Amino acid sequence: MLQPCEIFSDIEEEPLGAASLAQVHKATLKDGTVVAVKVQHPYVRGNALVDMKTMEVMSGSLLSVVLVSC
């Protein structure tokens, strides 16, 4: 996997914008092109896995209730 220093000549520390899942930073590629880089917060992957498992369990429970009710 490439390291950021191999792709970018500069990445601004201060984000242009931030949200619950990620933040966006202004960066410059090695060829001088200015780009926006979306940086995912480190805890997002774990939270997403928990959310998906919760939905899986809940949808199974809901399906059981609907089938029993019919």
Model's pTM, two decimal places? 0.58
Boundaries of domain holding 29: 4-69
Structure confidence by residue, pLDDT tens digits, 1-37: 889 899 999 999 999 998 777 899 999 999 999 999 9
pLDDT of the residue at 32:
96
Structure confidence by residue, pLDDT tens digits, 29-67: 999 999 999 888 777 667 777 777 777 777 765 555 555
Joined together, the tokens standing for residue 57 give 């369990």
Q: How many domains does the chain have?
A: 1
- Is the distance from CB of 27 to CB of 16 less than 8 angstroms? no
